[in-house]
Amino acid sequence: MTPVTFATGVTEMLDQTITTRAGRGSRPLAGKSAIVTGSTSGIGLGIARAFAAAGADVVLNGLGAWQDIERTRTDLAGEFGVAVRYSAADMMKPREIAGMVGDAEDNFGRLDILVNNAGIQHVSPVEEFPIEKWDAIIAVNLSSAFHAVRAAVPGMKARKWGRIINLCSAHSLVASPYKSAYVAAKHGLIGLSKTVAIEVAEFGVTCNTICPGYVKTPLVDKQITDQAKAHGISEADVVRDVMLVHQARKEFVRVEELAALAVFLASDAGASMTAGAIAMDGGWTQH
């Protein structure tokens, strides 16, 4: 598991934003509770940390070594003075996903914010794409969001407040070769999100997608190796000529930038933003 720490100054900046918007000493997500799927690593861990910093009680979820997860859980709870729980629910198993939502409602009394972030990747030409990899990517990257939303929406509608954020991708908007399952799942997740947004809009519940360009997380580190093999080029060339070729800014998107956007969408200030596919991709999809 890779720990996510905010760069010097970012936490202070977030604290200042929070203080300015919500009044001295208060935090924009105080009193709210959130699930962030796939939050033992990368973007999900960054979002869970930002939510805790903003005052939310958080359920962590994802794979990893028990000691690492327990350390993350206690560190976040201690640093930010919020309740942090962990669900080991497998995002390939509908019953465990519904159970995770039910446990959060039972333990926190409600579930206000759901971030569907868990994701996996496999890179291969379509004619060689392993069938079990296709099934797993569709299950984790698309179907898990359906199962979590299905379980969470009744409570959100009843309480007339809710926030659903689905981690999509620039690959929800455009395609790249060798990623048939990932691109299909991420395009599908935008369709699910728009539909849900329209269904729940009159109940004080929003549903948006965040569509990042490349972010340097363990998921991307693995792809650099895989893409080098698939394209027959070096890893440095993959970063420059494949990953960042369309990302006009020529830099990886940073986890803390995505986390700050997620805090905004989850706050009261995000009430009118719904059904959006919000690109944070250094200009990639507007080329």
- What number of residues does the chain have? 287
8 Å CB contact between 285 and 211:
yes
Place of tokens 């009159």: 202
Place of tokens 């202070």: 12
Q: Is 280 in the site for ligand NAD (CB under 6 A)?
A: no
Q: Which helix (H) or strand (E) holds 83?
A: none
Q: Which is nearer to ligand NAD, 10 or 92 (CB)?
A: 92
Q: Which is nearer to ligand NAD, 54 or 255 (CB)?
A: 255
What's the token pair of residue 258?
Answer: 């995505």
Smallest separation (angstroms) from ligand NAD to the CB of 31: 26
Place of tokens 């420059």: 240
Q: Is 209 in the site for ligand NAD (CB under 6 A)?
A: no
Q: Is 117 in the site for ligand NAD (CB under 6 A)?
A: yes
Place of tokens 């669900």: 87
| Stretch 250-279 residues interacting with ligand NAD (CB under 6 A) | none
The SS3 assignment for 209 reads strand
Residues annotated as catalytic are 182
Residues facing 277 on adjacent strands = 209
Per-residue interface string for the shown chain with ligand NAD, residues 165-184, x marking contact by CB under 6 A: --x-x---------------
Q: Is 62 in the site for ligand NAD (CB under 6 A)?
A: yes
8 Å CB contact between 92 and 136:
yes
Q: Is 283 in the site for ligand NAD (CB under 6 A)?
A: no
Smallest separation (angstroms) from ligand NAD to the CB of 35: 12
Which stretches of the chain bind ligand NAD, using CB under 6 A? 38-44, 61-64, 90-92, 117-120, 140-141, 167, 169, 212, 214-215, 217-220
